[in-house]
């Protein structure tokens, strides 16, 4: 009986390890997509950015009203710049210059593996640098959704911007994986989530070449020197409101938090467009609309 139990435990551990490897490979697989030409109403210029991540990033740049400020838009995991078009329209209508781009291993950009913010943080810095080069007299802000928010905090350090909006950003990779397992497997997720997340962290270096310690946005948010607005859904089961509160608590003043009532892990602009416009646009306008 003991021998059978030991064999069963060994088989179970092997199966769990294999499942975690499969999930890791799936989650980090490139999310390529044909984005195509920019929407005609945006009058965007197609651009390419050579990123320190080793990727060639592709995106759109829209020049706005002089003195109105510029905003870099950064999409979520397995997304691309098309997901940020509604935000771009909102900001362009308010006079901002806007840059949308695809992270490495996303959309039409090159790249081998999604790294949950590590290499994407290098992409984010390259995007901000391009805007500062193109518009040296403008203040620059950024909006990062999920992966985009993590990228704004990770890499060599938080983005050197004048205002930062972080939407639905995970606090650290182990909790992010555990939350997702629990959400997807409601019956057994609570039992296997933490062991699976621990295995996932253990296998991160050989799978994507990133250490778990490099994927802790909560450790980096205190380094943000710009005004920051943290936004999160109160019913988000992937990036919980408790995580958002913990991130907010670590941030330096001046800071604000927007708890989006009833929202899960969704596009917050699409979920609450009126509130989004009333909160995000004034936050950026107040901090970006003056000469640097």
- pLDDT computed for residue 24 by the predictor: 56
Q: What is the pTM of this model?
A: 0.91
Residue, of 197 and 242, whose pLDDT is higher: 242
Tell me the angle at which helices 173-184 and 189-208 cross, rounded to the nearest 10 degrees. Answer: 130
The pLDDT tens digits for 135-185 are: 999 999 999 999 999 999 998 889 999 999 999 999 999 999 999 888 887
Q: How many CB atoms lie within 10 A of CB 284?
A: 27
Average pLDDT of 105-113? 97
**Cβ(245)–Cβ(185) under 8 Å?**
no
CA distance linking residue 130 with residue 124, whole number of Å: 10
pLDDT tens per residue across span 24-64: 566 789 999 999 999 999 999 999 999 999 999 999 999 99
pLDDT band at 16 (very low <50, low <70, confident <90, very high): very low
What tens digit of pLDDT does each residue of 125-136 get? 999 999 999 999
Structure confidence at residue 188 (pLDDT): 62
235: its two tokens: 């019913």
Q: pLDDT digit string (tens) for 189-214?
A: 667 788 888 888 888 888 888 999 99
């Amino acid at each position: 009986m003991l021998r059978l139990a030991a064999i069963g435990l060994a088989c179970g551990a092997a199966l769990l390890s294999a499942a975690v490897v499969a999930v890791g490979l799936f989650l980090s697989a490139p999310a390529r997509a044909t984005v195509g030409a920019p929407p005609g109403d945006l009058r965007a210029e197609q651009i390419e950015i050579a990123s320190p991540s080793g990727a060639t990033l592709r995106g759109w740049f829209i020049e706005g009203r002089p003195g109105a400020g510029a905003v870099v838009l950064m999409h979520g995991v397995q997304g691309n710049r098309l997901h940020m078009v509604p935000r771009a329209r909102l900001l362009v209508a308010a006079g901002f210059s806007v840059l949308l781009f695809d992270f490495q291993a996303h959309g039409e950009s090159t790249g081998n593996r999604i790294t949950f913010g590590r290499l994407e943080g290098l992409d984010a810095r390259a995007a901000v640098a391009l805007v500062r080069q193109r518009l040296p007299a403008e203040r620059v802000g950024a909006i990062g959704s999920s992966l985009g928010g993590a990228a704004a905090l990770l890499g060599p350090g938080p983005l050197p911007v004048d205002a930062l909006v972080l939407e639905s950003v995970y606090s650290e990779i182990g909790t992010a994986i555990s939350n997702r397992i629990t959400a997807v497997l409601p019956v057994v997720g609570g039992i296997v989530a933490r062991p699976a997340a621990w295995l996932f962290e253990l296998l991160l270096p050989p799978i994507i070449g990133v250490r778990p310690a490099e994927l802790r946005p909560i450790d980096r948010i205190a380094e943000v020197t710009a005004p920051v607005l943290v936004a999160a859904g109160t019913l988000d089961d992937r990036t919980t409101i408790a995580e958002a509160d913990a991130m907010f608590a670590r941030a330096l003043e001046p800071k604000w938090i927007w708890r989006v009532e009833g929202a899960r892990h969704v596009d917050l602009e699409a979920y609450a467009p009126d509130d989004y416009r009333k909160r995000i646009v004034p936050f950026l306008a107040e901090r970006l609309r003056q000469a640097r």
